[in-house]
Every structure is written in C-alpha cells, then in structure tokens.
C-alpha cells in the first residue's frame, strides 16, 4: 500500500458539471504509478479538490482510497507547512521558509488523518510505503495504531544539511515521525547521512553506519535509493510512428531549427527556469545563437498557484520571456516558445524526441526525472543533456554536460558546447547515459527498497560491528 499526499489522479470538475480524472503533476506520481501497476496494491491520498469526502474507488486498475482535505487544511497543511515551510527549507532555502504555528498544527492533524485512514484499510502485516515531505509524521502515527505493519518511508526531495534543518521549530518531532518507519529512504547518500547525524545530535540515539537504534528497541535503517522512471515503456512510446510524426511536426512548426533546446518543468523556483532563459536570451542577443537556426521551447506545468513565491515566479518568467522575444525576435520567429500548460505523456515524448539539447538547470532538486526521461526517449545515441550539478540525477548521469546554474556565463558556454559538439562525442556520452537509465529503472528502485524493507522487518539486518 502506498500512502502519498496526492492520489495518482486529480478530480477535475468541468464547466458542464461532469467530472474527469487527470494524472496528478510531478515526479512522485510519474515514478510510483508504474510500480503500483506491477505490484497490485492500494494507494491512499488526496484527490486534489477541497471539502469532498469520496469513497474508495478503482481507476485504471488501481484501488484508490481518498483522504479528504478542507479548504482551510489545503491552505495550512498543503500550501502552508508543506510548500511554504518544508519545501523551501529542504531545498537549501533557495526561497525563505516561513514558520507558522497554525500551519504546524494543521500538518499534525492531517498526518494523523492519513495514518488513521491507512490503519483502517491496511491488511494484517501489510507493507505500507509512506511517501514524501508532506507525510513525515505518518510512520510514527501508523506504528502506534498498527504495530503489525511493515512501514517504509521514502523522501523524494533533498534532506537538507543539518545546519539548515535545525532552523525548523518542530525538528525533533519530525525526526521521531520518520523513525516510526523500519526503513527510511533518501535520494542520495548525503541525505541519509544528514538524517543519521541529526538523529544522533538531536535525539541522542545510537547509530552505526546506516542503522539507528530506535527508542523502542527496533533497528531502523536509513539509506539512499535514487529514484527513476519506467525507461523501457517510455522509450517504446517515444519510438512509435505517431510520436515520430508529432516530433517532426513540432520541428516544422518551429521553422525547422538546426538546434532545438528544450526545458520541461513544474513551474517551481527550485528549477532554475529564469537562469536558463537568461542564458539563452544573452546568447541570442550577443549573436552567438542565431534565432533562425536555434529555438528554445520551455514547457512549464502550473504548480501550487496560490503560494506567493509561485505567483511571483510566474509573473517574472512571463515578463522575462516577453522582453527577450520582443528585443531579439523577428516576425514569425520568436526565439523562445513558452507554454504554461500540462501535456499528456504522448506529447511529452514527442517533445523529448524532437529536442537536440535538453536543459535541466535546478538550483536544487531531489532527483529530477525530466533528465532521465529525455535520455530514455532518445532513438539513437544522439542529443545532449545539459544538467545542473545540484540535481540528484547528476550523481548518476555523469556523462551529461554538467553545469552550475548560478554561473550564467558557464551555462552559456556549456549550452554552446552541447549545441556544437561533434556527433561522435555526443554519441559516446549519450550511450553511457542511456545504459545508466535503462539499467537503473523504476523497477530496480522499487525492488531495492522493498527487498531491504523486507530484510529489516525479518530481523535479518545485523547491527554492524565497528
Ligand atoms: P518534480 O517532481 O519536482 O516536478 P521531476 O523532474 O522529478 O520534478 O518530475 C516531473 C514530472 O512531471 C516528469 O515526469 C515530467 O515529465 C512531468 N512534467 C513536467 N512538466 C510537464 C508538463 N508541462 N506537462 C506534462 N508533464 C510534465
Ligand atoms: C514533487 C514532490 C511531490 C509532489 C509533486 C507535485 O515531485 O516531491 O510530492 O506531489 O512535486 O507537487 P504538488 O504540490 O502539485 O503535489
């Protein structure tokens, strides 16, 4: 059973009163949906709308158990504590986190509701896999209600350095919440190390290597499991004739550029979208990129639109793109095509397939699945990936063109290098990237985590000798 803030689908009420279900945004759903399709379990989560109590239902072969949120809880627990306190704090405070006591109270209350709902529906001895920063108290709450369950937790975003984490007024409560799990998974080893150090410093618990001696005598393991995508099925979609035709159409609509640069993100201030647009705009303004020969397409999914920082970001990008296109564009040939919308998988695959250079520039990102999706969609060893060092994916995708997104000049040089590199060099890099992504796909990730969880709960994990 998976427990996540969001269900894999959002309930959308159309103007004519009919209801449809749409895939929820973000990497968590992209990654976990194929896992749940192959493991046959239930998914507990919120369906994306306020003040509605829904019964469990089946959608696309998955059993979904909705947890209701009131409009006030969406404001305090989701937009507030989850996305204006934890999200910026865990992403290296690239925006200032806000600490508000009423948001924390809502976080505790809603976490308890997720735990209660899960405890109601989980079978005896079930494996319950709790996901992400919105639900960090659920493992402990669930263990109190249902000690028979095997509880895993996975954090999809970075776990911050200890100096930042300790700003959080409720730092100890969250550590205790996570320790309710048998296995706590992180994207990178550094996150697991930060967590283990905090458990020692703040809770005075004994740790050895990846193990914690919890207050109730259990051994809890904390380890890295870099998340991934369903690489083979995405590749298959990208290889279809329909995708090929759509990719060709996209390039034709853009005036057959020699080089198509692509950015794909949720509209989030962690993603470094202004930095990449700035770099591209300067290259065009300086005459180093000819807008008759190269184009940038930036696709941004609307996200968390009522949170202040996200509203500002949206306005800033609208202005920035408008300014560049009006300064250096020509009739019928704006250098930047900016789309503020969410597209179906088929369209995303066509965009990836069409693009010559993918630009992924987050200031901080737990993993970044877009980078892996681009690699999986390649048809031959062509194309180039420009990737921020500050994305978790950079640890695995060593053959990408790695950049520091704060260094605009460095980014510009690397974008040119990726655009102009000889086919032989690009192909060597892409071959290695593809191998990495196909060998470490989402099934590999799920198996690694669930096998370890099984070993921990069976008591097969030995307390390591020094
Ligand atoms: P995050 O989880 O922070 O949003 P990831 O890069 O890990 O970042 O995952 C983003 C997911 O959302 C990917 O699966 C990507 O394909 C998808 N996505 C991003 N932008 C769009 C868009 N405009 N339309 C449809 N899907 C999108
Ligand atoms: C990231 C987070 C997920 C979240 C997703 C979309 O991937 O790690 O937990 O679901 O973004 O954000 P949203 O706030 O729309 O759920």
Nearest ligand to the C-alpha of residue 8? Answer: 2
Statement: residue 107 has pLDDT above 90: yes
Bridge-based pairing of strands 219-224 and 211-213 is antiparallel
The residue whose CB lies within 8 Å of the most ligand 2 atoms, and thus the one to mutate among 7, 8, 75, 132, is: 132
DSSP code at position 379: S
Instruction: Please give the Cα distance from 214 to 181 (Å, whole number).
Output: 10
How many CA atoms lie less than 13 Å away from 388 in the CB half-sphere?
A: 26
**Model pLDDT for residues 325-338, shown as the tens digit of each residue:** 999 888 888 999 99
Given the CA of residue 131, which atom of ligand 2 is nearest to it? 9
Instruction: Please give the Cα distance from 307 to 297 (Å, whole number).
Output: 25
The reply to whether ligand 2 has any atom less than 6 angstroms from the CB of 440 is no
| The pLDDT value given to residue 40 | 83
Statement: residue 466 has pLDDT above 80: no
Burial of 287 (0-12, 13-18, 19+ CB in 10 A): exposed
Residue 424 CB neighbours (<10 A):
8
pLDDT higher at 81 or 459: 81
Q: What percent of the chain has pLDDT over 90?
A: 95
DSSP code at position 254: T
Residue 407, C-beta contacts closer than 8 angstroms, at least 6 positions apart: none
**Model pLDDT for residues 17-26, shown as the tens digit of each residue:** 898 999 999 9
Bridge-based pairing of strands 57-59 and 336-340 is unpaired
- Cα of 465 from ligand 1 centre, angstroms: 42
Label residue 388 by pLDDT band (50, 70, 90).
Answer: very high
**Model pLDDT for residues 253-302, shown as the tens digit of each residue:** 999 999 999 999 999 999 999 999 999 999 999 999 999 999 999 999 99
Average pLDDT, the chain: 97
| The pLDDT value given to residue 464 | 82
The reply to whether ligand 1 has any atom less than 6 angstroms from the CB of 264 is yes
| The pLDDT value given to residue 462 | 79
φ, ψ dihedrals at 152, nearest 5°: -110, 155
Instruction: Please give the Cα distance from 351 to 346 (Å, whole number).
Output: 9
DSSP reduced 3-state for 461: coil
Statement: residue 227 has pLDDT above 90: yes
Label residue 149 by pLDDT band (50, 70, 90).
Answer: very high
**Buried b / exposed e along 225-234 (16+ C-beta atoms within 10 A):** bbbbbbbeeb
CA distances from 317 to 320, 339, 362, 371 (A): 5, 11, 15, 21
| The pLDDT value given to residue 330 | 82
Label residue 13 by pLDDT band (50, 70, 90).
Answer: confident
Helix (H) or strand (E) holding 373: helix 369-377
């Amino acid at each position: 059973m998976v427990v996540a803030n969001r269900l894999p689908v959002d309930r959308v009420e159309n103007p004519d009163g009919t209801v449809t279900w749409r895939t929820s945004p973000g990497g968590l759903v992209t990654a976990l949906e194929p896992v749940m399709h192959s493991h046959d379990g239930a998914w507990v989560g919120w369906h994306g709308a306020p003040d509605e109590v829904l019964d469990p239902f089946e959608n696309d072969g998955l059993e979904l158990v909705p947890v209701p949120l009131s409009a006030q809880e969406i404001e305090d627990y989701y937009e507030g504590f989850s996305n204006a306190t934890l999200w910026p704090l865990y992403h290296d405070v690239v925006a200032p986190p806000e600490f508000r006591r009423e948001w924390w109270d809502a976080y505790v209350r809603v976490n308890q509701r997720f735990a209660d709902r899960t405890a109601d529906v989980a079978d005896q001895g079930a494996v319950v896999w709790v996901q992400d920063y919105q639900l960090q108290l659920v493992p402990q709450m669930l263990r109190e209600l249902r000690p028979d369950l095997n509880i895993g937790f996975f954090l999809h975003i970075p776990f911050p350095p200890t100096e930042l984490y300790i700003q959080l007024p409720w730092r100890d409560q969250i550590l205790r919440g996570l320790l309710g799990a048998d296995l706590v998974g992180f994207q990178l080893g550094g996150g697991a190390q930060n967590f283990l150090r905090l458990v020692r410093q703040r809770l005075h618990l004994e740790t050895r290597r990846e193990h914690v001696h919890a207050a109730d005598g259990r051994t809890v393991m904390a380890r890295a499991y870099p998340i991934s995508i369903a690489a083979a099925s995405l590749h298959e979609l990208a290889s279809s004739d329909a995708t090929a035709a759509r990719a060709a159409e996209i390039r034709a609509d853009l005036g057959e550029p020699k080089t198509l640069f692509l950015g794909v993100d949720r509209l989030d201030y962690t993603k470094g979208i202004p930095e990449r647009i700035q770099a591209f705009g300067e290259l065009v303004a300086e005459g180093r990129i000819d807008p008759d020969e190269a184009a940038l397409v930036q696709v941004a999914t609307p996200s968390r639109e009522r949170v202040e920082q996200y509203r500002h970001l949206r306005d800033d990008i609208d202005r920035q793109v408008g300014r560049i296109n009006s300064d250096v564009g020509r009739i019928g040939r704006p250098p930047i095509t900016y789309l503020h919308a969410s597209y179906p998988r088929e369209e995303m695959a066509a965009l990836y397939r069409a693009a010559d250079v993918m630009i992924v520039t987050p200031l901080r990102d737990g993993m970044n699945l877009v980078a892996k999706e681009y690699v999986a969609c390649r048809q031959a060893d062509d194309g180039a990936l420009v990737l921020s060092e500050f994305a978790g994916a950079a640890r695995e995708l060593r053959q990408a063109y790695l950049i520091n997104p704060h260094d605009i000049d460095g980014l510009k040089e690397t974008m040119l290098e990726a655009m102009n590199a000889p086919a032989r060099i690009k192909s060597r890099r892409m071959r290695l990237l593809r191998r990495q992504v196909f060998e470490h796909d989402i099934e590999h990730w799920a198996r690694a985590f669930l096998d370890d969880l099984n070993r921990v709960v069976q008591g097969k994990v030995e307390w390591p000798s020094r």
